[in-house]
Amino acid sequence: MTTTAFPRGAAIAGVYEHPSRFSPNKTEFQIMAESAKGALDDAGLQRTDVDGLFGASMSMGLMGIVDLAEYLDLYPDYLDGTNIGGSSFVAHVTHAAAAVNAGLCQVALVLYGSTAASNSMAIGTGGTGGSRNPDAAFSAPYGMTTVGSYATYANLHMDTYGTTSEQLAEIAVTMRQHASLNPRAKMRNPITVNDVLDSRMISRPLHLLDCCIISDGGGAVVVTSLERARDLAKPPVQLLGCGEAVQHQGVGYSDILTIAAKQSGARAFEMAGVKHSDIDLAMIYDSFTITVLATLENLGFCPVGEGGNFVSNGGIALGGTLPVNPDGGGLSSNHPGMRGIFLVIEAVKQLRDECDARQVPKAELALAHGTGGTIGDKHSGATLILGVDR
Amino acid sequence: MNAIEHPLPFASWESRGFWEGAGRGELVLQRCEACGLVQHRPRGVCAHCLDGSALTHFTASGSGEIYSFTITEQNQAKGFAEACPYVMAYVKLDEGPRLLTVIVDCDPDDAAVGARVVADYVSQNRDDAEVFAVPVFRLG
């Protein structure tokens, strides 16, 4: 099957999740290189087959993608260092598929690596010291933090729709339950709704256990044409639909409760020509519990305002209405700063039936949605709909 | 719980009107006389016309309501760590646009979506010649 956007077909031919959750003796680029080896081995490809290089990280700045090419001693025909936050790698898959379909490259390698945990990086609550950036000048004086921005969203959602902290806690409980089935997950001991509610308040209404963990880690994804992928080592996973979007403050009037996922998701579903009820599992960026609820509503898996009920009573657990993040997500498995690449990797492994105890039975269609930046303030969203080859 | 030590705002020529206005105790917004848009944050152009020639500054009422908020219990950043818990909020101004701010002298349990607020101004001690202040809001 091909889509109008990708007449040659686009497929993910190889993936690799770096096993490390704490790597004080490694660099970001080393983690990316080890991940590249893993994904190329998975696909049955060589380093020298790569002619498209995609990547981003927390510290890659101006010309970072060129630095990465140098580190790997690669001379690709196509470069893309797009950095739109944690969703970057979800977007990279789309960009790679477009480049492959345009004939600009044949084998695209998407990379991420991070040592956020071993650097003791305060990702969520280290917000806003002074800044000379004139734009940041309007947030720096007010102590905006990442978790604080999500908390303003959560408060508004609670005020508007009656969503409760107990319902948000259900999301954390389900992610931990999934993580207990994932031998690589960082946090595997089961938790209860009360454990979440009793955990320290970080930014009301979000508690410590409403927040993702901080780990090291990285991963890699290989994108190529469907035809090429069919000749490689693993069954291809097809890219059937995709979308990207942003939401931000605009000139001060935007509807904050409507997040980027609404626009990117609608486009991905339209392109793929599938219904929500066709989706077997969803990989949803879970920086915070509220991120999952907001994303499921905006993607259309439930009506806006009904996310609280949707995620309760095992609704997003394995065996539930829509299994979400069988790997345990950023809330319990790993979150090295920008988690988007793991959404793609786990979706692919699920569609290849490689997930053992946490496998969604007979998974044929998966959705992955990455959020970058901060919901409640400005953020990006990128959606993929992936399917088995048939 | 101490008062927040606000980082010193840095003004570009695009945002100077806002920070200078705050230094005078005024909440200054931009209006495009060509299309009528009232915009915040300030820019060198009207974001809709992509042209700055009809852009004017005016003094807003300084009144509005809480659009959303959070009680920040943890923030390691200098000036804020000792001030936790503090109320960070988006305020929808009566003139239309929303801005990020803090609600001062506010019991966390009194903060609510829709609560009416008015602007106040925290003066800054600076080692340059600027007379800026940081607009904050209080219930009222």
Q: Is residue B6 in some structural domain?
A: no
pLDDT tens-digit map of B109-136: 999 999 999 999 999 888 888 889 999 9
The Cα of B114 is separated from the nearest Cα of chain A by a number of Å equal to 10
B residues 99-138 closer than 8 Å to A (CB) = 99-102, 108, 112-114, 134
Strands B98-103 and B116-123: unpaired
Structure tokens belonging to residue A220 = 């890699």
**Average confidence score pLDDT of chain A:** 94
Verify whether the Cβ–Cβ distance A252 to B99 is below 8 Å.
yes
- For the residues A11-22, what does the mean pLDDT come to? 95
Q: Measured at the alpha carbon of residue A38, what is the angle toward residues A34 and A41, in degrees to the nearest 5?
A: 135
Can you read off the two tokens belonging to residue B6? 């606000």
How many of the other CB atoms lie within 10 Å of CB of A119? 15
Are A135 and B100 within 8 A, CB to CB?
no
pLDDT tens digits along A95-133: 999 999 999 999 999 999 999 888 877 667 765 444 455
- Put simply, the answer to whether A256 touches B67 (Cβ < 8 Å) is yes
* Residues from chain A contacting residue B90 (CB–CB below 8 Å): 152, 256
Give the Cα separation of B17 and A379 in Å (integer): 27
For residue B9, is it within any domain? Answer: no
Which stretches does DSSP call E strand in A62-200? 78-80, 108-114
Please report whether residue B124 resides in a domain. yes
- Pick from A142, A201, A205: which is nearest to B88 by CB? A142
The DSSP bridge partners found for residue B57 are B30
Instruction: Tell me the average pLDDT across A76-102.
Output: 97
How many structural domains are present in chain B? 1
Rounded mean pLDDT of A13-20? 95
Contact B88 A143 (CB under 8 A): yes
pLDDT band at A5 (very low <50, low <70, confident <90, very high): confident
- The answer to the question of residue B1 being in a domain is no
Which domains occur in chain A, in start order? 10-119+212-388 (3.40.47.10)
**B125 in a structural domain:** yes
* Inside any domain, residue B71: yes
In a domain, B10, yes or no: no
pLDDT at B35: 98
The domain in which residue B36 lies consists of 16-139
What count of other Cβ atoms lies within 10 Å of the Cβ of residue B125? 5
Average pLDDT of B54-75? 97
Long-range CB contact pairs, A209-212, < 8 A, 24+: A209/A169, A209/A172, A209/A331, A210/A168, A210/A169, A210/A172, A210/A288, A210/A289, A210/A290, A211/A124, A211/A147, A211/A287, A211/A288, A211/A331, A212/A124, A212/A286, A212/A287, A212/A288, A212/A329, A212/A330, A212/A331, A212/A335, A212/A339
Q: What would the pLDDT profile of A329-341 be if each residue is shown by its tens digit? A: 999 999 999 999 9
Residue A127: its chain B contacts at CB < 8 A? 75, 77, 80
Q: Is residue B2 part of a domain?
A: no
In the predicted structure, residue A301 carries a pLDDT above the cut 70: yes
Q: SS3 of A246, please? A: strand
Q: Do A204 and B108 touch (CB under 8 A)?
A: yes
Q: Provide the β-strand partners of residue A324.
A: A282
Q: From CA B16, how far away is CA A81, in angstroms rounded?
A: 34
Percent pLDDT > 70 in chain A is 96
Q: DSSP letters along A330-371, please?
A: HHHT---S--HHHHHHHHHHHHTT--GGGPPTT--EEEEEEE
Distance from CA of B69 to the nearest CA of A (A): 5
Tens-digit pLDDT profile for residues A196-228: 999 999 999 999 999 999 998 999 999 999 999
pLDDT tens, residue by residue, A331-390: 999 999 999 999 999 999 999 999 999 999 999 999 999 999 999 999 999 999 999 997
Residue with tokens 């950043």: B77
pLDDT tens per residue across span B28-50: 999 999 999 999 999 999 999 99
